[in-house]
Structure 1
Amino acid sequence: MRITVLDGYTLNPGDLSWAEIEKLGEVTVHDRTHGQDIVKRGGQAQILLTNKVRLTAETLAMLPQLRFISVLATGYDVVDIAAAAARGIPVSNAPGYGVEAVAQHTMALLLELCRKTARHDTLVKQGAWSQAPDWCFWEGTQQQLTGKTMGIVGFGNSGRRVAVLADAFGMDVIAYAPRPKEAPALRNFRFAPLEELTAQADVISLHCPLTADNRHLINAQRIASMKDGALLLNTARGPLVDETALAQALVSGKLGGAGLDVLETEPPLPDNPLFRAPNCLITPHIAWATQTARQSLMSITARNIEMFKHGTPQNVVNAHML
């Protein structure tokens, strides 16, 4: 069985092995694939692996040999899953591989917004501490998390883990989930409607998938309902946030800061308004990318392929459409 990896470099830039997957078929790995090359590279494959290469309905129609798609991620919006289902093609994802990595990155962004460690490291090395008239100095207001309220939008694996970490820092936790979820045993936790969460939280962290219904979930109207000085974190999907509205809220001081690992357009365009906004941290979609998490992703993908070959595919995101 021919297996083609369309964009393998992000998962494995050289510090992992493809051996688990190579045991399952004839594997061809492409570091990167542009749209015009998908059909040429994947046309003879029965199995395609993709991270960010988009598989549209039009592209899928030109891949007659294709029988299975495994997305090298938890999010699967890069694949037209309905079009795949119409062809009888199951699409699997890799849930849970990066829970710890994403949760820890979320807290890293939050701690940097509150304590500005990188900024102070730079100032010390530039001589600002040595030139200060006092024994120590700091730039801006230092904040601690104890006693603040963390609002978590989306309460899957990563949202639940962030709740545990926030609780460990002494934060109260409010969570919103569109469907009923079991409450974790935390010191001060409750579920609440989204409107109540955004109005009461000091920190709002997004952990929900992108759907047709929640694009620009964080927009000018919702920002207006937030606490003055609230912090926004997004390690989920960029289009959940209206970047123009967020930039305006940061410039006006309505929001105290933002920590973003994802953007509406990735990589970003040079004129992104958030580049000029104060107190805005942006990392290049790396929350998931620890070596440990990537190895787990590799193993889950290998298992996805193995189970498909056995006739019992797992982690199928379009099962209800097949």
Structure 2
Amino acid sequence: MKAVFLDRGSFPENLSIHFNKSITNYVEYHNTHETEVADRIQDADIVLTNKVVISREQINNASVLKLIQVMATGTNNVAMEACEENGIKVQNVEGYSATSVPEHTFAMLLALRRNLASYLQDVQSGAWAKSEFFCLMDYPIKDLSGSKMAIIGSGQLGTQVSILAKAFCMQVMFVERKNQTDIRDGYVSFNQAIEDADIISLHCPLTPETQNLIGEIEFKRMQNHALLINMSRGGIVNEAALVKAIESKQIAGAAFDVAAQEPMPNDSPLFHLTQSRNFLLTPHVAWASQGAMEKLVQIAIGHIHDFVEANQ
């Protein structure tokens, strides 16, 4: 069987990827442009992709394709209906970032809540040296303890975030789906959570239902001291509405690890926001601790071997 990895360069070179003898031909591409996908997958039995998009047309023309192994949790880069119609199995990888993403969430949250970026910049610029007193307190510092955190997404990542939040003595609310009238036990309605929360943390997949889940209406409902944390997918938050909410001080700040378009272009609304002291943005690396990536590859290769053994 032939396996093709379309964007091997999205993982470090020192991360080993080895198959058993059932994969007789394995080809790695550093990256794959959309115009190259069809040619590279046409004779492949198994395709590995992290973020390279595989369209319906490309899937329909891949006559021997049997499995698409997404090297991530989200499968929104694959035409799922076309795969189902063609009998092609799609597998993702879950659980690999259950430590990395929650830790990154709290790193960003603490940086916002304690204005770490501003204080670090002031030390570097020499402002502390000019201070009248022993310390420099130009920016507010707030504790996490006692804050209300609304978590949208109650899967493994959201659950782990809730565990860390409780360790910080925060009050945790799991949020019911938007526009849902029947509220599950242990959940809070979407609108109530948006209105009551000091911190809103997103850990849900990007689907048609969650596209622009947070927009202008939701920002108007938030408290003006609220913080929005997005470690999931960029399209879940309307970026134009976010810019307006930050600049008009509808909310106190936000921290993102994602953007609607990635890599994020310099004309993105979020790039403009990075000049603001109360907006933090990292380049989609919350998932990428060394341990998480090693676990991801281990799980993915295991999935592929299980599939091959079941279909020999």
Scaled by the length of structure 2, the TM-score of the pair is: 0.93
Other structure's SS at 1:9 match = helix
Q: Equivalent residue for 1:137?
A: 136
Other structure's SS at 2:13 match = coil
CA contact (8 A) 2:176 2:184 kept: no
Q: Equivalent residue for 1:84?
A: 83
Q: Equivalent residue for 2:236?
A: 240
Over 3 Å counting, the alpha-carbon distance change for 1:255 and 1:31 in structure 2 is same
What letter matches 1:217 in structure 2? L
Other structure's SS at 2:165 match = helix
Q: Equivalent residue for 1:170?
A: 169
How far apart, CA to CA, are the structure 2 residues paired with 1:43 and 1:182? 46
Q: Deviation at 1:307?
A: 1.1
What letter matches 1:266 in structure 2? E
In the TM superposition, what are the counterparts of 1:1-322 in structure 2 within 5 Å? 1-11=1-11, 13-19=12-18, 21=19, 23-25=21-23, 26-178=25-177, 190-277=186-273, 278=276, 279-311=278-310
CA contact (8 A) 1:146 1:171 kept: yes
How far apart, CA to CA, are the structure 2 residues paired with 1:54 and 1:67? 17
Other structure's SS at 2:310 match = coil
CA contact (8 A) 1:24 1:305 kept: no
How far apart, CA to CA, are the structure 1 residues paired with 2:170 and 2:150? 10
How far apart, CA to CA, are the structure 1 residues paired with 2:98 and 2:272? 31
CA contact (8 A) 1:57 1:80 kept: yes
How far apart, CA to CA, are the structure 1 residues paired with 2:57 and 2:115? 47
What letter matches 2:5 in structure 1? V
How far apart, CA to CA, are the structure 2 residues paired with 1:181 and 1:48? 40
Other structure's SS at 2:174 match = strand
Q: Deviation at 1:114?
A: 1.0
How far apart, CA to CA, are the structure 1 residues paired with 2:125 and 2:220? 38
Q: Deviation at 1:257?
A: 0.4
What letter matches 1:264 in structure 2? A
Unaligned runs of at least 5 residues, structure 2? none
Overall identity of the aligned pairs, in %: 36
- CA offset digits 1:177-224 (Å, max 9, x no partner): 4499998xxxxxx42111111111100000111111221000000111
How far apart, CA to CA, are the structure 2 residues paired with 1:126 and 1:47? 53
What letter matches 1:4 in structure 2? V
Q: Deviation at 1:22?
A: 5.6
- Higher mean C-alpha deviation, range 266-275 or range 236-245: 266-275
Other structure's SS at 1:259 match = strand
How far apart, CA to CA, are the structure 2 residues paired with 1:23 and 1:302? 13
Unaligned runs of at least 5 residues, structure 1? 184-189, 314-322
How far apart, CA to CA, are the structure 2 residues paired with 1:10 and 1:157? 24
Scaled by the length of structure 1, the TM-score of the pair is: 0.90
Q: Equivalent residue for 1:318?
A: none
CA contact (8 A) 2:259 2:270 kept: no
Over 3 Å counting, the alpha-carbon distance change for 1:31 and 1:215 in structure 2 is same
Over 3 Å counting, the alpha-carbon distance change for 1:103 and 1:213 in structure 2 is same
Tell me: higher relative CO, structure 1 or 2? Use CA pairs within 8 A at least 6 residues apart: 1
